Amino acid sequence: MKAAAIELLERDAELRELSGLLESARSGEGRVALVYGEAGVGKTALLTQFVRAHAQDARLFWGACDPLSTPRPLAPLLDIAWSQGGQLAGRISAGAPREAIFQALFEELRSPRRSAIVVIEDVHWADEATLDLVKFLGRRTQRTSALLVLTWRDEGIRADHPLRAAIGELPGQVLARIPLRGLSPAAVESLGAKSHRSTEGLHAATNGNAFFVTEVLASDAPGVPLTVSDAVLARATRLPPQARELCELASVVPSRVELPLLEAAAGPTFAALDELLGSGILSLDGSAVAFRHELARRAIEGALPPLRSRELHARVLTALRARGEDPAQLARLVHHAAGAGDSASVLRLAPSAAEHASRLGAHREAEAHLSMALRHAVDLPPRRRAELLEARAYECYLTDRMQEGIDSCSEARALWNRIGERAREGNCLCSLARMAWYATHAEEAQRYGDLAIEVLEALPPGPELATAWALRAGAYASADENAAATPFAEKALRLARTLGNREIEAYALSMLAQAQIHLGHEPGRTHMEESLRLSLEYGFHDAAGRAYAILGQHAVEERRHDFAAKILDEGIAYAAERDLRTRAMCMYCWRSRLRVETGRWAEAVDDAARILDNPGCSALFRLAALTPLGLLRARRGDPGAREALDEALKLAKESGELERMVPVAAARAELLWLCGDAEGAAAEASAVIDKARKAQRPWFVADLAVWIWRGGGEPPPADECALPVALQLQGNWRGAAAEFERLGCPVQAALACYESEDREAMLAALEALDKLEARPAAARLRRRLSELGVRAIPRGPRAARRGHPFDLTAREQEVLAALSLGLSNGEIGARLFVSPKTVDHHVSAILTKLDVRSRGAAVAKAQSSGMLQLEEAREK
């Protein structure tokens, strides 16, 4: 039996779900389907069947990512453009910037002609630019009539795989997850029966993997072969010699080989193509051939003897080259040059490939190309090697791989020094200072910064010197030595303007602004916004990311929460779409803190997890994520608060910066107070208060002063504190509560009345804390109320009713949401873990409260009054 003839088994539910999503897309609400499972489980087969069924009623855009050693930027988009032609292909070949290319595809999808299915296969191999495309489309799909389908292998996708972050950024309401599982034993048996083979032990040996099963059934060897690789190789061995040679050649080309390329590389053996296709190992896909399964390709490639493999790569390389060195093909050229062991070609091609990738915002790929070049650079002239190292260091810096960046940059610096290129050496020192700062190596950063200035001031003034001065200004500002920062920033700004260097101008301007904001000087924010505008206008991506991050940080520190939320959302989207990982990480930290502060706790966790789930991230970001996470655990009464804040404290001390120390100290004080140790809280805050007062930062002083006061210590004068805490210290707890409420700090607003003895206010605060599920704070307030002799203290969160138009309890709202899905009482009961009888009781209560007769009427009324969010119901 031919493997190709296998029918699709046990995929009806998945096909129905995909069709449902397409239906929704057709009605103008685009969707994203995530189809994933292990290699060989049948993702491609499922989608092939699905698009075949909709060949008439939907346009198809199909692209795939390939497993090149360093992926080709935007490979799937190139596939799509290649098959579609039109505006998209035009823009790509004209070298349009990638925003314009993305936009062209989006326009294409939005065009109202017919709904569209966009398939991007194997996104676990996607380059950064493709992931950015996924984010770009994912965020906009809802406004199109398109169904975007992403497939990937979920085995071995680690927590820090960039794909996870990309998926995490897609809007939840458009996503549908379709995990594919292996075939059932019954399905395996039925396949075996059709091919008249015994399937004893087959399900266990293959775990139901459709590919394995198919391959094993297609092999003539008796019984179950030990491994599928054996099965594949056995089949290849039976091919006639020419077909086998062709098969081996095709195996060194990841994913698919265009026929002209295969012909050019194969020479006379190309004549065996029909035979090879007839074997079913490869199949024809448009004007290219591809292995029916990637596993088979790898099995064959992996079995090639090393010299044979080199020779085959060399043949593909020659054939590719003969077609001209199209920038879009550079990654492929590098892959085959490396495979062929052709160092000279790698060295020539990889840097261009890196440049191309970097321009497209695929910084991780750019870094990989440069590393590849460096591995092949055995005896390169020092100048050339230093250039490669410096370029690699920059890509590492952008993508938050500081230690690797520091290693490359140190080597580059030594080389520049040796050949007497002092300006380039100075530039490397600036980069080293910056990266050491992210690694919280404060002293090292300082030392590199000093050296940079020393080296560059001895030379005629140039852009490197302006950078070094701006960097020094930034270091002073971060250390809250703001008066010292200003003259350096101003010098840098003047020099940048004299040189006409807009990028350094934007940088210097933002450093000046940072110092001014810290000093409370009015033009600070204006300057920062000006720097952002300048960077956006000229496309200085990293500088724009920095400006967003600084604006967001100050807004969070000063509790300007609405602005903070807006600027951070905008900045994160900007950085994420351009693979500016360092900037994005920084902003996730600040947004996490914003969300802890404003009571959006579940989302705060998501932001912090982006940093903490990634073991390679910079120490500075780890610190900035551990702080809100520790505070959140403290506020929820969850374990691990102390551990998170201990580690944060250690890192904050290493950084030596006030702006890192204050949030950690304040969070630790709050934790201790919540655990009943008020004196400890005061001590924790007192340890940093002098530095905060010296820096004259009213919010820093306030964040600490409140715990010193609450713990019975000697707080600083009220007029040094930001408003709500100043009011609190003056005994005006009502004013403090109102101000915290206005700023959107629900926990602090509730705690403001703790010392007041005003029972009514305290009961109201208790309700607010219960609603937030701030258990330890609520427990303290309960204890205080009972000390004051209050008898009727609500027992717990569940006694509190959320403000609801029809006064429905939380449980009734859940039942109502389930009713809108048309579930029976039994189903609702199973979902909410209560008996159907209890559900019935809730339904009656809902009908009474909504004043309606039937379940249907209740749902209709709830929807028309806007209290039942459709998305919410659908998600549950």
Partner 1 sequence: MPRYLVERTFPEGFSIPIDASGEKACLSVVANNGEGGVTWVQSYVSDDKRKTFCIYDGPSPEAIRRTAARNNLPVDRITQVRVLDPYFYR
From first CA to last CA, the distance across the chain in angstroms is: 44
Residue 145, both tokens: 């009539």
Which residue lies nearer to partner 1 by CB, 654 or 827?
Answer: 827
Which residue lies nearer to partner 1 by CB, 219 or 809?
Answer: 809
For the bound state, the minimum distance from the C-beta of residue 157 to partner 1, rounded and expressed in Å, comes to: 13
Cα separation, 47 vs 126, in Å, equals 19
Nearest CA-CA partner of 4 in 237, 257, 235, 255: 235
For the bound state, the minimum distance from the C-beta of residue 798 to partner 1, rounded and expressed in Å, comes to: 5
For the bound state, the minimum distance from the C-beta of residue 229 to partner 1, rounded and expressed in Å, comes to: 28
For the bound state, the minimum distance from the C-beta of residue 37 to partner 1, rounded and expressed in Å, comes to: 14
Q: Would you list the DSSP string of 480-502?
A: T-HHHHHHHHHHHHHHHHHHT-H
Which residues neighbour 518 within 8 Å (Cβ) at sequence distance 6 or greater?
A: 477, 480, 482, 524, 695, 697
Which residue lies nearer to partner 1 by CB, 484 or 834?
Answer: 834
Which residue lies nearer to partner 1 by CB, 605 or 772?
Answer: 605
445 near 431, Cβ under 8 Å?
no
Starting at the earlier edge strand, list the strands of the sheet with 175-179. 59-64, 116-121, 146-153, 31-37, 175-179
For the bound state, the minimum distance from the C-beta of residue 633 to partner 1, rounded and expressed in Å, comes to: 6
CB burial of 453-490 (b: ≥16 within 10 Å; e: otherwise) equals bebbeeeeeebbbbbbbbbbbbbbbbbbebeebbebbb
703 near 710, Cβ under 8 Å?
no
Cα separation, 754 vs 707, in Å, equals 12
For the bound state, the minimum distance from the C-beta of residue 589 to partner 1, rounded and expressed in Å, comes to: 16
For the bound state, the minimum distance from the C-beta of residue 639 to partner 1, rounded and expressed in Å, comes to: 4
For the bound state, the minimum distance from the C-beta of residue 826 to partner 1, rounded and expressed in Å, comes to: 6
Nearest CA-CA partner of 66 in 121, 119, 134: 121
For the bound state, the minimum distance from the C-beta of residue 753 to partner 1, rounded and expressed in Å, comes to: 25
- Give how far Cα 814 sits from Cα of 61, 669, 798, 830, Å: 40, 37, 14, 13
Return the DSSP state at 67: -
Which residue lies nearer to partner 1 by CB, 114 or 876?
Answer: 876
Residues of this chain that interact with partner 1 (CB under 8 A) are 602, 605, 609, 629, 633, 636-640, 775, 796, 798, 811, 814, 826-827, 829-836, 838, 876
Which residue lies nearer to partner 1 by CB, 580 or 839?
Answer: 839
Which residue lies nearer to partner 1 by CB, 317 or 604?
Answer: 604
Which residue lies nearer to partner 1 by CB, 524 or 776?
Answer: 776
486 near 512, Cβ under 8 Å?
yes
* Backbone Cα Rg of the chain: 31
Extract the runs of DSSP E, i.e. beta strands, from 468-597.
none
Cα separation, 181 vs 207, in Å, equals 9
The amino acid that residue 445 corresponds to is A
For the bound state, the minimum distance from the C-beta of residue 660 to partner 1, rounded and expressed in Å, comes to: 22
Which residue lies nearer to partner 1 by CB, 275 or 827?
Answer: 827
Measure the CA dihedral 696/699/704/708, to 10°: 90
Which residue lies nearer to partner 1 by CB, 156 or 460?
Answer: 156
Q: Per DSSP, what are the bridge partners of residue 31?
A: 147
Mapped to the 3 state alphabet, what secondary structure does 390-401 carry? HHHHHHHHHCCC
For the bound state, the minimum distance from the C-beta of residue 834 to partner 1, rounded and expressed in Å, comes to: 6
Mapped to the 3 state alphabet, what secondary structure does 404-455 carry? HHHHHHHHHHHHHHHCCCHHHHHHHHHHHHHHHHHCCCHHHHHHHHHHHHHH
CB atoms within 10 A of CB 853: 9
For the bound state, the minimum distance from the C-beta of residue 603 to partner 1, rounded and expressed in Å, comes to: 11
Which residue lies nearer to partner 1 by CB, 240 or 826?
Answer: 826
Which residue lies nearer to partner 1 by CB, 378 or 602?
Answer: 602
CB burial of 543-559 (b: ≥16 within 10 Å; e: otherwise) equals bbbbbbbbbbbbbbbbb
Query: What are the residue ranges of helices labelled H in 225-362?
Result: 228-237, 241-251, 259-266, 273-279, 294-302, 306-322, 330-339, 343-359
Cα separation, 587 vs 581, in Å, equals 10
For the bound state, the minimum distance from the C-beta of residue 599 to partner 1, rounded and expressed in Å, comes to: 15
Which residue lies nearer to partner 1 by CB, 717 or 826?
Answer: 826
Indicate the length of the chain as a whole number: 876
Which residue lies nearer to partner 1 by CB, 124 or 369?
Answer: 124
For the bound state, the minimum distance from the C-beta of residue 158 to partner 1, rounded and expressed in Å, comes to: 12
Cα separation, 425 vs 429, in Å, equals 6
For the bound state, the minimum distance from the C-beta of residue 630 to partner 1, rounded and expressed in Å, comes to: 11
Q: Which helix (H) or strand (E) holds 825?
A: helix 825-832
Cα separation, 234 vs 143, in Å, equals 50
Which residue lies nearer to partner 1 by CB, 70 or 809?
Answer: 809
Which residue lies nearer to partner 1 by CB, 447 or 849?
Answer: 849
For the bound state, the minimum distance from the C-beta of residue 838 to partner 1, rounded and expressed in Å, comes to: 5
Cα separation, 626 vs 596, in Å, equals 12
Query: What's the CA angle centered on 632, arms 626 and 637, to 5 degrees?
Result: 125
